[in-house]
Structure 1
Amino acid sequence: MSINFSCKAFGKWILAGEHAVLRGVPALVFPLKSRVLELSYARSESPLELKLQGDHGKELQLLVWGVLEKACEAKNIKRTDLKGTLLLESTIPVGAGMGASAALCVALTRWLGFLGYVKESEYYEFARSLENLFHGESSGVDIAVALTGEGLRFVRDGERTSLETKWQPNWFISYSGKRGVTVDAVNKVKELIAADPVLGKKIDDEMAKAVQLAEQALQLPESEGKTLLIKALDLAGQCFEQWGLNEGAPAKHLALLRENGAIAVKPTGSGGGGYVLSLWEKQPAKDLQLIPC
């Protein structure tokens, strides 16, 4: 087919700031360049046809039409006005905490921008509103990194600044063995806060400290920064522990990584499953099936 428009949106991983980002704590987020959603569009006069390809393309089947329906409703677009062929090719697993839903919302927003329905200045807020379908309440952090494709220090309803690093940590992400459901994890943390606001505030403050230490660690030379980064990851990991989002398969996987030589581990994303982040002194064993960050 003759392509009239194409765009890419990368997956993501979060270094620190999960959950607490909803309450104003900064989050440090990076694109995962090896996991990407590519959208291609060929204009025609035929009713809109959707084609799905790639390792995880078919997983988008149930998501795309729901997102498009919400977008059409928001912009008063008739579904019959959308014509042509939309090809989505994805290597981002759905429900893994890698930002598949954000990548989809960003790609569809850019496509609707190409068609003239969404202004470029509206991309972030419009894509974020679409992502509320999946998260109930989207902080916007996944949307921000999918839009920019670069490491960010993100504050909800505030700054989104590029994150420069002085050294390259030897870090990886890997699947915990259990599918993560973001909205369930978000609700579990909210329930804890409602039941014990003092404890909730204490954990948020600890996550804020982890973010501060991690950011500081990346600005220092590796010889000084590595120890600080380990401390930051340990502190962030303890927050997930207190939220009750490490139980079962994730806890076993975190222990396995430590047994195999990881010097720091923590969930990345919403927790309760999905992927975990690990830091290593040397190259880990290939049979662990780790994805380089």
Structure 2
Amino acid sequence: MVSSNPAHGKSNAKIILIGEHAVVYGQPAIALPLTTVNVKVTVEDAETESTINSSYFTGKLADFPVSGIKHLINYLIDKNEIENPLSITIKSDLPAERGMGSSAAVAVALIRAFYTYLGKPLTKTRLLNLANISEKDTHKNPSGLDAATCASEQPIWMVRNQELKTFPIKTHGYLVIADSGIKGKTSQAIAVVKERLMHNPDETQKLISDLGQLAFNAKDALASDDIEKLGEIFNAAQTILRQLGVSCAQLDDLIALSLKNGSLGSKLTGGGKGGCFICLTKSIGDASGLSQALLNAGATQTWIEPLLKEGVHE
């Protein structure tokens, strides 16, 4: 019998606000949830066999090609002794391979939908442990940052091998997140930094340390409503990321254009060598105008996110 009460789960995208690459070498990073960019999952009873319906794949669960998510679904079914077939629908606003946490966001929304379907309580620790099942398949050695941010409404402060911590934002302003249209190449970018560190250790280590200091400065700016300072920090971080070799010509061109069209500061986000970049603006009007300018210049998609979320407190 098909359920008349489908269960729903939701999560959001994430970006690295600052600290990408430096975080690999022990420096802090800040990740920001994008609460306007969502994944929504529905789980309900099916009549004959378990199926998945998504923009990526529609068909039998047994034939689903994404191993991490399939592993997670089968684990949830087996662990909770669900014997009847299920219909699972995944609706995602997130592009894949753009550094926005697509796989983690799907996992978090999926787990929330399953626990609603089961009528069971779900702790934050349990949620993140379950999300790690699919993230290990997808990323081999995940830091946990993607899942934690996709499940949060507040920024995450991360230092490698330390507890992830949330903190509140007091800065008024808007981010424009833009997709360059080029798939990010995280592993390639990581290798570039590693090789640079090997051949030019002193200069490269200083750049990494400087990025770490900018993360501290950004946290202070976010806590003191200093949007001009935050813009300067973004620009300084992008200069360092370019020197490290993780930017690319297309990103550099679009970022330069953004600075001529109302951005207070712009930088790549995530692994680099493509993917997304972020721009800081004072008002929604500035953000809208900048968004259109970037789309006209070749960005394939943009999102606008307020820094200060109504109703989100420490």
TM range (shorter): 0.7 to 0.9
Describe the SS at the equivalent of 1:47: coil
Distance, in Å, in 2 between the alignment partners of 1:151 and 1:212 is: 13
Shift of 1:44: 3.9
Instruction: Evaluate the alpha carbon distance shift between residue 175 and residue 111 of structure 1 in structure 2; reply closer, same or farther with a 3 A threshold.
Output: same
Does the 8 Å CA contact 1:206/1:235 hold for their aligned counterparts?
no
Does the 8 Å CA contact 1:109/1:127 hold for their aligned counterparts?
yes
Q: 2:19 aligns with which of 17, 38, 53?
A: 17
- Give CA deviations for 1:106-152 in whole Å, capped at 9, x if unaligned: 23344565669997433323423422433343222211111223222
Instruction: Evaluate the alpha carbon distance shift between residue 207 and residue 66 of structure 1 in structure 2; reply closer, same or farther with a 3 A threshold.
Output: same
Describe the SS at the equivalent of 1:249: helix
Matching residue of 1:205: 209
Shift of 1:33: 1.9
Distance, in Å, in 2 between the alignment partners of 1:97 and 1:40 is: 24
Matching residue of 1:144: 148
Does the 8 Å CA contact 2:29/2:158 hold for their aligned counterparts?
yes
TM-score when scaled to structure 2?
Answer: 0.77
Runs of 4+ in structure 1 deviating by more than 6 angstroms, as ranges, are 59-64, 72-76, 116-119
Shift of 1:244: 1.3
Matching residue of 1:108: 110
1:41 aligns with 2:39: no
Shift of 1:212: 0.6
Amino acid paired to 1:125: N
Instruction: Evaluate the alpha carbon distance shift between residue 200 and residue 124 of structure 1 in structure 2; reply closer, same or farther with a 3 A threshold.
Output: farther
Describe the SS at the equivalent of 1:32: strand
Does the 8 Å CA contact 2:10/2:112 hold for their aligned counterparts?
no
* C-alpha RMSD of matched pairs (Å): 3.3
- Give CA deviations for 1:69-122 in whole Å, capped at 9, x if unaligned: 443787894999683100101111112222111101223344565669997433
Distance, in Å, in 2 between the alignment partners of 1:273 and 1:213 is: 26
Which residues of 2 match residues 116-135 of structure 1 at below 5 A?
120=123, 121-135=125-139
Distance, in Å, in 1 between the alignment partners of 2:39 and 2:57 is: 12
Q: Which moved more, 1:72-81 or 1:255-264?
A: 72-81
Q: 2:30 aligns with which of 28, 31, 36?
A: 28
Matching residue of 1:251: 252
Amino acid paired to 1:102: A
Matching residue of 2:52: 50
Matching residue of 2:269: 268
Does the 8 Å CA contact 1:44/1:85 hold for their aligned counterparts?
yes
Matching residue of 1:160: 164
Does the 8 Å CA contact 2:94/2:102 hold for their aligned counterparts?
yes
Does the 8 Å CA contact 1:135/1:183 hold for their aligned counterparts?
no
Describe the SS at the equivalent of 1:108: helix
Instruction: Evaluate the alpha carbon distance shift between residue 58 and residue 210 of structure 1 in structure 2; reply closer, same or farther with a 3 A threshold.
Output: same
Shift of 1:251: 1.2
Q: Which moved more, 1:246-255 or 1:125-134?
A: 125-134
Matching residue of 1:171: 175
Q: Which moved more, 1:131-140 or 1:258-267?
A: 131-140
Matching residue of 2:311: none
Instruction: Evaluate the alpha carbon distance shift between residue 2 and residue 260 of structure 1 in structure 2; reply closer, same or farther with a 3 A threshold.
Output: same
Distance, in Å, in 1 between the alignment partners of 2:11 and 2:90 is: 11
Does the 8 Å CA contact 1:170/1:279 hold for their aligned counterparts?
yes
Amino acid paired to 1:107: A
Instruction: Evaluate the alpha carbon distance shift between residue 275 and residue 82 of structure 1 in structure 2; reply closer, same or farther with a 3 A threshold.
Output: farther
Matching residue of 2:280: 279
Matching residue of 2:309: none
